[in-house]
Amino acid sequence: MKFPKVFSLQQIADILNCRYIGDDDFPVHGMNEIHVVEPGDIVFVDHPKYYDKALQSAATVILINKEVSCPEGKALLISDDPFRDFNKLTFHFNPFRQAVANIAPTASIGKNTVIQPGVFVGNNVTIGDNCLIHPNVIIYDNTVIGNNVTIHAGTVLGADAFYYKNRPEGYDKLLSGGKVVIEDHVDLGALCTIDKGVTGSTLIKEGSKIDNQVHIGHDTVIGKKCLIASQTGIAGCVVIEDEVTIWGQVGMASGITIGTKAVILAQSGISKSLEGHTTYFGYPAEEARKKYKELAAIRKIPEIIAQLKSDL
């Protein structure tokens, strides 16, 4: 999430009421979650296990709960609770804005686009030309939809990321300040849920087709011309490259990459990154022919045991 202008390190520290290490006028352009940080961004870290990852990331400002050696060319914001203060920045720069109409006056809707009854379009939403939005679709604030997009009934674009910190008093929610971006010629089935990014964008690229009841988590990127069948669940921060086919009821863990033109067969469970140009099946998913051979061998176990007993 980029700020409306460049702020100084001192200005950001004043918002958070925290100490800092670095020049007063060190430039701060925005804030992002660790998976999508860029130079000029703030990233937060609150566990020693991830200090090095944050300090060595592309982010140039690290919001951290311990004073450590600051890498050259970077700055630190010292906080007793970086999670809380990251939320404070999200709320400061992207506060919740109550809706005042079913279609917000700040929304932009292109030529020949049809909005069916019961659709909600939030603040600062952009919808391109020649789109068809079916009844009861919910489009949260700041969503961007390209041209020639079809969205079927009941789909929700831009709900919050499923991201919590476990505290003694209960789960503390990380505020979502990102958005959903849908490129041209995308079809979304009925009752899909696509969560916004934490600070960046959840992205579905040009020409992809998504069936009914598919969930896509925060900050995930779906490549061009992908096919995703119904009841698939994709966690946050997943990268699915171009022309991937995913059949029904596939489940996918966060932070993994699926390579170009991979095919994942129905009811597979994906716990790690997979290479492209290969067909996968099973849980944990493996190359399909290998998995089928394993299943065939397992079916022979009773016969083998019976034979061993008869030989005794």
Backbone angles phi, psi at 34, to 5 degrees: -55, -30
218 labelled catalytic: yes
Instruction: Catalytic residue, from 29, 134, 218, 277: name it.
Output: 218
**Contact call for residues 235 and 219 (beta carbons, < 8 A):** no
Q: Cα separations (Å) of 194 from 63, 113, 183, 212, 223?
A: 28, 21, 14, 12, 15
Q: Which residue has the tokens 């993994």?
A: 256
State CA 233 to chain mean position distance: 12
Sheet strands side by side (includes 61-64): 2-8, 27-31, 41-45, 61-64, 75-78, 19-21
Q: List active site positions.
A: 218
